[in-house]
Structure 1
Amino acid sequence: MKFAKKLVAAVLALGMCSVLLAGCDNAADKQSVESIKNSGSIVMYTDAAFPPFEYMEGENAMGVDVEIGMEIAKALGVELKVENVKFDSIVGGIQSGKAAFGAAGITITDERKESVDFSIEYYTSVQYIIMKEDADYKNISDLGGKTIGVQLGTTGDILVSEAVNGSEDDNGEHVTGSLEGSDAECKQYANAIEASQDLVNGRIDAVVVDKLPAESIVNNNTGLKCVKAEDAEPEAYGICVAKGNDELLQVINDTLQKLIDEGKIDEYVVAHSTI
């Protein structure tokens, strides 16, 4: 009986893996270079509340990643269509084939690599803490007993959640977080702009987000300041595509490398940081 149960479990697991792999292949086929060229357009998923990488200007998405997206579309000879979605739905949209690629200041992580393929790195960032001008925090670990705003699904969310709740090591053992037991709270928002408004209004004590969005938020809100979180490691941004979509990934990598070599990405950052 035990053998039978194990056999059934193994068959089910194998079946599930086959379904997942088929789903990845289907997404790559839906968004193949040939399919994109035949359709005349390429769909990019982003979350346009992360300036200067993506933000809304009227009804149009703008920013560094949109500039990059336009260059990718140009390389393919098609039109770029940008769809503004929630950050934590981007990877799922790529997996299902609803979009060809995701570009939203997405940090390359081992966990995300299990679901999608990533381009070469095109920008390096670090986490910043936004606070009121009279506050004095230098590390995430300094936020004991505070309510900390983060954008759902981002690096800031992961770091603060682990600091507050702890994490697990490779052996499944609990690792105590730097804020665990301090009554600190991680409050998740759809985007960092919403979190910063609660900070301005005194509903939370700090916001943890990437450097450039933090600086943009501070520049647009009096009474706030931001500093680098000294206990956070640097992170690299990449563009994601469906697993196995190697031909499209090569086009994206070639485009990114050209933009990097020409200094264009730095130009985009400056241009969209001063708007």
Structure 2
Amino acid sequence: MKLKLISAVPAALLLVFALSGCGRNDDRLVMVTEATFPPYEFREGGKIVGIDVDLMKAVAKKTGRELVVEDMSFDSVIAAVQAGKADVAASGITVTDERKRQVGFSRPYVTAQQVVIVPKDSEIRGSADLKGKRIGVQHGTTGDLYVTKNIREPERFPNGSLAVAALDAGKLDAVVLDGEPSKVHVALHENLVILDEPLTTEEYAIAVNRKNTALLEEINAVIDELRENGGLEKIKAKYVKQ
């Protein structure tokens, strides 16, 4: 998803965290996320649900903790983990070299792509046709980074649904977003389609404070178990409609 631009964690928070050890000392497993990214995290009936939530429920059950899910701006989730305000960030987070210097990452559990959404009657057929076009992205995502670096300065939106709405209203020529969320958005806008050619291939993982190696090992063990027994595919199939 999401190579978000991480804001610096205040020094005072880092000091508090350093003095408090690797994490919080209660029976909760606090997960932070941005709940506008279906099928990984979204609101349904007043609750936050999705692939990432079910994965962390499995971790909580295995480790005897109560899962608590907190919704916040994606730009804040890594900082919350760094400061010890949350145990994990699970929000369709793309593994990048820069992020590896800030947090520990679990084993990847999803392979994802950045794709291009256009109107059905668009002349855009691939990445080469995006030059000079009005392109919308979710602010700070890997789609934002790719478009900025390789094509042009995009128009940035707080979330994908707003970017897609602007495209449907004729205010943009294309939108670049993660593949599975794009399917959800396009299903709500009959005038839009996803191009066959993806722009990138990425991997999502769970972010944990670098000092909390015990929790990271627990998460990896659950991911391995779910992959071996088919549970990971069942979680994905629950939310991803073929």
TM-score (norm 1): 0.78
Give the aligned partner of residue 100 of structure 2.
113
Counterpart secondary structure, 1:234 = strand
2:193 to 222, 225, 229: 225
2:23 touches 2:212 (CA, 8 Å); kept in 1? no
Give the aligned partner of residue 68 of structure 2.
81
Stretch deviating more after TM superposition (61-70 or 138-147):
138-147
Give the aligned partner of residue 176 of structure 1.
none
1:99 to 56, 81, 86: 86
1:21 Cα deviation after fit: 7.7
1:22 Cα deviation after fit: 5.3
Give the aligned partner of residue 266 of structure 1.
233
Q: Write out aligned runs for 1:1-275 (5 A).
A: 25-26=18-19, 29-31=22-24, 35=25, 39-163=26-150, 179=151, 184-230=152-198, 232-274=199-241
Aligned-pair RMSD on alpha carbons?
Answer: 2.2
- Larger-Rg structure: 1
Q: What 5-or-longer segments of structure 2 have no aligned partner?
A: 1-10
- The 1:138/1:103 distance shift into structure 2, 3 A limit, reads farther
Q: What 5-or-longer segments of structure 1 have no aligned partner?
A: 1-17, 164-178
AA partner of residue 237 (structure 1):
Y
1:216 Cα deviation after fit: 1.2
Aligned residues: 232
Give percent identity, aligned residues only.
36
Counterpart secondary structure, 2:39 = coil
- The 1:110/1:138 distance shift into structure 2, 3 A limit, reads farther
Q: 2 CA distance for matches of 1:73 and 1:115?
A: 24
AA partner of residue 264 (structure 1):
G
AA partner of residue 149 (structure 2):
E
1:28 Cα deviation after fit: 5.2
Any idea what the Cα deviations from partners look like across 1:33-89, whole Å, max 9, x if unmatched? xx2xxx221110111111111111132111000000111111121111111111121
TM-score (norm 2): 0.88
AA partner of residue 180 (structure 2):
L
1:42 touches 1:78 (CA, 8 Å); kept in 2? yes
